Amino acid sequence: MFRSIRGFAFNSLRYSSYSSNAIVQSSTESSQQNVKKTISYIQNLYHEKKPITMVTAFDSITSRMSEEAQIDITLVGDSLANTSLGYRDTNQLNLEEMLYHVRSVRRGNQFSLLVADLPFGSYEVSIEQATATAIQMVKAGAQAVKLEGADDETVRTIKKLVNTGIPVMGHVGLTPQKHNTMGGYKLQGTSTESAMQVLEAAKKIQEAGVFSMVLECVPYRLGEIITQELSVPTIGIGAGGQTSGQVLVIADLLGMQPGPLPRFAKTYANFFDNGVLALKTYAEEVRSEQFPLQEHGYKIKKMVLEEVRKNLEK
């Protein structure tokens, strides 16, 4: 089988001389778990109408959790700014910080497709700047980059990156890096005009060559229509259940930080409260001398101990 998808050529042969585990999956192989996932694997899930799973990770541990759960795509999302790093918003994150986290996630990554966000300020200045930034992301371990928006300059940037050999995931609907011009973090596509704008944006970046796109915070029927209108997968967050896949921010999914969450986030665990409880129990045990016990320590040879004591008596 040989297919060309917007500048990327795939075939189902094994090119073991290209990389240690460069196995390009055919459509019948997308159920294989122990192969490094590629964008053709994601395309195959899409063509087989299998929902695509994506989750963010910000370090080696969260990356390993994504691997153990056999998630299809691990995204080093710039949401790490306002989760792990405690910034007010994603626009405060800089490129060096992002690269540091991409490397960390890469060390925990094995099989899932690794995608990294281009942070605010690292790609908007010029196509040259965007290309240089995306190359750094790839060198740090990303297999693809994600960038927000669909204005003419962004469309040209996507084309350039794809031609350079860097797969691009787009991001339309609510684009948090533009929250200042959008007037906040608001549901998009609520009027006819705005709904058509989101659809047109999705079509423009598809035309530019994205292999998939995040569709954030649009009414679920609009998410369904946009997904039907496209021939690349949509990964929804707050875009309903009819998109080609779903993504959640790992801090929301695991309940890693207190405070209200957006309506579209579902919390599957309670890491923050469980963590605080564990720390309180630890502190109580230290204060009441219940920790550590002998079993947490190491023995010394009787002879050595006696000699140390003798030395002290001298």
CB-nearer residue toward ligand KIV: 75 or 138? 75
What is the three-state SS of the chain? CEEEECCEEEECCECCCCCCCCECCCHHHCCCCCCCCCHHHHHHHHHCCCCEEEEECCCHHHHHHHHHCCCCEEEECHHHCCCCCCCCCHHHCCHHHHHHHHHHHHHHCCCCEEEEECCCCCCCCCHHHHHHHHHHHHHHCCCEEECCCCCHHHHHHHHHHHHHCCCEEEEEECCHHHHHHHCCCCCCCCCHHHHHHHHHHHHHHHHHCCCEEEEECCCHHHHHHHHHHCCCCEEEECCCCCCCEEEECHHHHCCCCCCCCCCCCCCCCCHHHHHHHHHHHHHHHHHCCCCCCHHHCCCCCHHHHHHHHHHHHC
Q: Which of 216, 284, 289, 307 is an active site residue? A: 216
CB-nearer residue toward ligand KIV: 25 or 90? 90
Give me the residue whose beta carbon is nearest to ligand KIV.
77
CB-nearer residue toward ligand KIV: 138 or 235? 235
Least CB distance from residue 270 to ligand KIV, whole Å? 20
- Interface contacts to ligand KIV, rule CB under 6 A: 56, 77-79, 117, 214, 237, 247, 249
Residue type, 88: R
Least CB distance from residue 144 to ligand KIV, whole Å? 13
CB-nearer residue toward ligand KIV: 25 or 143? 143
Least CB distance from residue 216 to ligand KIV, whole Å? 6
Least CB distance from residue 81 to ligand KIV, whole Å? 8
Least CB distance from residue 16 to ligand KIV, whole Å? 33
216 annotated active-site? yes
CB-nearer residue toward ligand KIV: 77 or 209? 77
Indicate which residues carry an active-site annotation.
216
